Amino acid sequence: MRFFKINLLPLLLCLPFFSYACDGCGCSLGMSNPGLLSLYRAHYVGFGYSMNSFKSIADHAENQSDYFYQVEWLSRFQLSDRWSMGLEVPFRYNLRNTNGITSKLSGLSDAKMKVNYLLFRPIQGNAFQFSMEQTVGFRLPSGKYDETLHTKNLPDNFNLGFGSLGLFFQNNTAVTHGRQGLLLNTSFMYNLKNSNSYQFGNQAGIEILAYSQFQTSKMNLTPALGFSADNYWINLNANGNKVPETGGRGLYGVLSLNLKFGNILCNLGMATPISTQYSDNKVIAKNKMHVNFIYVINQ
């Protein structure tokens, strides 16, 4: 595996700003950081699946749970040793269960286009390697935004799309020594107002993973342990006022695993809540998980 990374700059940028956007139990929070997949700088295409859920503890919605499922197309194309482009196209399935009554919403969500630049190539010295990659991209308003969701007893964050353009930054840095490494991923998303002048809260995330590689005759195995924090700002309505029961933050323990057989890569991850505070403490976050199946076109 020839490509590793960690991030310090956006880490400093993101750490002070952790807060999320959730209405009631509508915290559609995904695995915002790429995990061990950010170790791969190569042409690849594939699919990802993720799931996360929340349970309401508010008096008015005590038996209410939200489930968010996503399947997405993942791709990366190397333009040169330093430059590459990526495209992610998600399909979402949102489910709310209230006292045995279910509400569903599914469809195409907001796609992401991004450009990556390798700031520092792997640098060797004293058996250590260091590399850093910076990403800039756009979240496109390809998913449907329905401003009437409240009339269906669903929160704004249950929408398939934000209805606006978003600008995001990611930084992935890695330090390795032999087959061991430390990976740091950070991200920040700035959300513009949509056509209804509603603004979803900005999003920030950080992920720190320590990993080790094991090579057999048939596969490469890379397990990792670490922590992640996902944080979102409060939503703002058309008048610029804060939307009640939005905003929050969470700290998670992360277990990740890469399995690579030839050109096939399977990337799995699970995040378990350690300390969370969403929607004015009206909801409890459950485990998050993802799995990616990738075909690496060049080695």
Which residue range forms the structural domain that includes residue 22?
9-296
Q: Which residue(s) pair with 54 in the sheet?
A: 66, 285
- With a cut of 60, say whether residue 9 has pLDDT above it: no
Residue 59 confidence class, pLDDT cut points 50, 70, 90: low
d(CA 277, CA 247): 9
24 assigned to some structural domain = yes
Average pLDDT over the chain, rounded to whole?
A: 85
45 assigned to some structural domain = yes
- With a cut of 70, say whether residue 32 has pLDDT above it: no
- Model confidence over 106-159: pLDDT tens digits? 999 999 999 999 998 877 666 788 999 999 999 999 999 998 887 888 888 889
- With a cut of 60, say whether residue 237 has pLDDT above it: yes
Whole-model pTM: value is 0.85
For the domain that residue 112 is a member of, what is the CATH number?
Answer: 2.40.160.40
- Higher pLDDT pick, 14 / 230: 230
Percent of all residues in the chain with a pLDDT value above 70, rounded to a whole number: 86
Nearby residues of 155 by Cβ (< 8 Å), 6 or more positions away: 22, 23, 24, 25, 26, 149
35 assigned to some structural domain = yes
pLDDT, average across residues 27-44 = 72
Length of the chain: 299
